[in-house]
Amino acid sequence: MSRKVLSVLLATAMTASLLVGCGGSAAAPAADAAPAATEEAAPAADAATEEAAPAAADEATAGKKVGVAMPTKDLQRWNQDGSNMEEQLKAAGYEVDLQYASNDVQTQVSQIENMINGGCNVLVIASIDGESLGTVLETAKAAGIPVIAYDRLIMKTDAVSYYATFDNYMVGTKQGQYIIDTLDLNNAAGPFTMEVTGGDPGDNNAKFFYNGAMDLLKPFIDEGKIVVKSGQVDFEQVATASWATENAQSRMENILSTNYADGTDLDICLCSNDSTALGVENALAANYKGKYPIITGQDCDVANVKNMIDGKQSMSIFKDTRTLAAQVVKMVGQILKGETVDVNDTTTYDNGTGVIPSFLCEPVFADINNYKEILLDSGYYTEADLQ
């Protein structure tokens, strides 16, 4: 995959102010609806310009309204994304219309329609189904309202101006590399058994997560060092509708009863995120007596971090939503001030109408060895949260 990613050290991002974005900035004139994007940094402004910037920013953005459409409150991460976004946008002086759609596409469409009619100047949208917003976003485009796709790419519409997310392919590669390193697959004889639990097929990110991990692990499958006893390897076979814990649990229970009831050990559970990992962990607790497997995840949800501490999950990809929110707030300001909007990838994310200029933040993984540094020392969680 062709990718041009601006490397960002998460430790730096977490110790910086939450209003600092994921990367550098660049300034240049741009159109209201879709300001130009750049991957190059402009020369630093002189001291006088920097001193005048806050007042100019206030004047340019005063009274502006930002619509934030989140998919659901059912998953912990979207509650955090929404609250971080709202807090930082309000701190920057914007009026905010934050809505959650209960994982119902038509509800999200209606909420976005209301945001457009309610005078929002920019829309930030984490879609439920990436291919279901084309019609409503044509209305936004006609009204001259820029759209930032948040975390999930919105597909098959040219009304999307920018995309802000974490490096989704890297999420998968970090999960795959963790498995390779933990089992020393390059040197171990094997074979090792593995089952794969993917994400929602309506979420464009799910295939990036899957591909990132499988690009690393498939060579071991091809040589027989990793064996998938269920035979379910293709994304369509391993996908989990709505990322639902109960769906992942039900499927894993069937896999265990069919393939591992004879006492065969399951060595690896490649799970794309924490809600699916939780379903797999529930199924293992109820239906499996063998050696406990490596289990991957993503999002560092509280329940999963607790399971990590208890030895029931091996790792989880940490994507600091404060960092992503800060970057989006920065992009919103650049759009409203007619500045060039920061991006660091202009090749990877084609939504079917062309490549969407994107800003990718870098994820890291947390496990039993570093979760205190990554999650507690950064202030993301407190000790009490994990009790």
Q: Assign 3-state DSSP to the chain and report helix, strand, coil percentages, each to 5.
A: 40, 15, 45
Q: What is the pLDDT of residue 111?
A: 98
CA distance 186 to 188: 6
340: which 2 tokens?
């060039």
126's tokens: 């984490």
Domain residues of the chain, as ranges? 10-166+321-361, 168-318
Task: Using alpha carbons, list the distances in angstroms from residue 354 to 32, 109, 149, 357.
Answer: 20, 23, 14, 10
Query: Quick one: pLDDT at residue 92?
Result: 93
Regions in the chain scoring below 70 on pLDDT: 1-60
Q: Please state, in angstroms and rounded to a whole number, the distance separating the CA atoms of residues 23 and 15.
A: 14
Residue 148: count other Cβ atoms within 10 Å of its Cβ.
Answer: 25
Nearest to 115 by CA among 87, 139, 85, 150: 139
Peptide bond before residue 146 is cis, with ω within 30 degrees of 0? no
Residue-by-residue DSSP string for 141-176: HHTT--EEEESSPPPS-TT--EEEEE-HHHHHHHHH
Q: Which CATH class is domain 168-318?
A: alpha beta
Q: What is the pLDDT of residues 123-172, one digit of tens each?
A: 999 999 989 999 999 999 999 999 999 999 999 999 999 999 999 999 99
Q: 10-166+321-361 maps to which CATH number? A: 3.40.50.2300
What angle do helix axes 168-183 and 204-222 make, rounded to 10 degrees?
30
Hey, do 10-166+321-361 and 168-318 end up sharing a CATH topology, with the first three levels equal? yes
pTM value? 0.79
319 and 361 Cβ atoms separated by less than 8 Å: yes
What angle is formed at CA 199 by the lines to CA 273 and CA 122, rounded to 5 degrees?
85
